[in-house]
Amino acid sequence: MFTRHFAHWPPGKPKTLELPPQTVYRNLEASVARDPERAAIDYYGARISYRRLKQEVDALAGFLQKRWGIARGERVVLYLQNSPQFVIAYYAILRADAVVVPLNPMNRTEELRHYIADSGARAAVVGQDVLSHIEPLGLEHILVAAYCDYLPPAAELPLPDFVRAAPASTAWREALAADLEPGPHEARPGDLSVMPYTSGTTGKPKGCMHTHFSVQATTVPYLYWRGTRENAVVLCALPMFHVTGMQAGMNSAIYLRSTIVLLSRWDRDCAAMQIERARVTNWSAITTMLVDFVANPNLGRYDLSSLQILGGGGAAMPEAVARKLEEVFGLPFIEGYGLSETMAPTHINPPQRPKRQCAGIPFFNTDARVIDPETRKELAPGEVGEIIVRGPQVFSGYWNDPEGTARAFLSHDGNRFFRTGDLGYYDEEGYFFITDRLKRMINCAGFKVSPAEVESMLYAHPAIQEACVIGARDEYRGETVKALIVLKKNMRVPIAPQDITAWARSRMAAFKVPRLVQFVDELPKTATGKIFWRKLQEEENRKSS
């Protein structure tokens, strides 16, 4: 067991944490029993109590079971923006003993086709703003939600157009109004509960199988680590389909009976208004969000004094932005590190002694090491290698992919460790630092993009002969997607780089779209005839260094 970091453990916190032997739904049940009238959700000023939240969760669970026939272990897609409906549907699916498959609402039809086919889902809860993308795929059941159903009568905050939009369907309200009582909650801690998809390094995204127990492993200690007390007010601006937003913004908050202040879409002025209006105490954010926030020329107009804890991850926080955050909030930014496979954190900085541009120290009950990826020899402080982890938050494996699962784990020091695919080192004090990626992946503002997946979609363009996708430096997003393309010869219609970008935008999520397109005569190849992407990536890195 790696223990070098124990000298800097948060004061008063135990070195290990016992997890409750219960399902994630039981967290909501317990919070309702203790404080039923406390606001669970604050949606642009409209407040939903814990009592009402559970009532609607249970009613929807009854609908899923009795009208749709959703059975224990069945996968149900959740495809909508941050909203009360997301929280209600998430917990209703768990109450029905089923498995949540949370999908990015930026995904388009062709991307969704894989998730639905791979997961075997026959039902989905969908926001009306994205219904047109999933409707052609022939799901047996779709429940449409209109965000405006939960708005206050006179919302005084800036709202996205899709939130204001009038309801195109009353299906959600009718499902709740049926008030069907669900059957007994039979799920157990070892049952599958949530299956987020991670970008596949070899093309297709893979479903990460998480049990109630592995979700609880970061739900229970997440806010506790940072010193959060009960009755906190948590700003949730990170997307909840992603494990960081799911855990820091929703599940941990519900476990601790906190109030979740929801933003359906990032808006720096609205975020500042919400902090002031709702007296937000906790905020987890990605680096790009905070870069935008502190760049707001109107920031001085807002009272941000209620904020007590500020943290996040996704990419290393630039030194200049970290200093600015401390000026604005008088708080250190507590960085963390994790993956979809680990249900968010494996590492977080100790709040009393954080280091900048640092992943932090291993979290509760987590063992992390650094090994040589070739020899698998364990490395000493300061030596760069692959970070491997084991702990209760590590997933069970990839859905329907036993070979991928086998590659993701290794035996080390008598234990089974997950290979993160990230390169880094730890210092003499046991703090871990991420330096590079072993996996082929692009990090766009915290969203992971698989170059192989983007390439496979680009090959559907009639003008493209060959394509190679790499990451290019971007001052705001950290990295952006760049495509080097060989066009087919004798094209009758001239093609410009912006044509490729526009075509891609209609077929893939915005963060995957190649914002930089370069036409080349040929792509370098390896001795076996494969496109030599690593050479192109290294050339790109040299240009921007």
More reliable by pLDDT, 291 or 137: 137
The predicted pLDDT at position 201 comes to 56
pLDDT digits 0-9 by tens, 2-21 = 899 999 999 989 999 999 99
pLDDT for 95 beyond 70: yes
DSSP string, 440-479: --EEETTEEE-HHHHHHHHTTSTTEEEEEEEEEEETTTEE
Q: Averaged over 181-195, what is the pLDDT?
A: 98
Residue 95, SS3 per DSSP: helix
Please tell me the distance from the alpha carbon of residue 527 to that of residue 172, in angstroms, as a whole number.
Answer: 57
pLDDT digits 0-9 by tens, 324-377 = 888 889 999 999 999 999 999 999 999 999 998 899 999 999 999 999 999 999
Q: What backbone torsions phi and psi does residue 40 show, to the nearest 5 degrees? A: -85, -40
More reliable by pLDDT, 469 or 478: 469
Highest-confidence range of 52-66, 279-293, 348-362, by mean pLDDT?
A: 52-66
Please tell me the distance from the alpha carbon of residue 52 to that of residue 151, in angstroms, as a whole number.
Answer: 15
Share of the chain above pLDDT 70, in %: 98
pTM over 0.85: yes
41-55, 72-86, 260-274, 423-437 — which is least confidently predicted? 423-437
Q: Averaged over 42-64, what is the pLDDT?
A: 98
Q: Averaged over 269-282, what is the pLDDT?
A: 97
Please tell me the distance from the alpha carbon of residue 381 to that of residue 364, in angstroms, as a whole number.
Answer: 21
Q: Which residues contact 126 (CB under 8 A, 6 or more apart)?
A: 77, 79, 80, 134, 142, 143, 144, 145
List, in order of start, the domains of the chain with CATH numbers: 4-419 (3.40.50.12780), 442-544 (3.30.300.30)
pLDDT band at 273 (very low <50, low <70, confident <90, very high): very high
pLDDT for 316 beyond 80: no
Cβ-contact 133, 108 below 8 angstroms: yes
pLDDT digits 0-9 by tens, 338-347 = 999 999 999 9
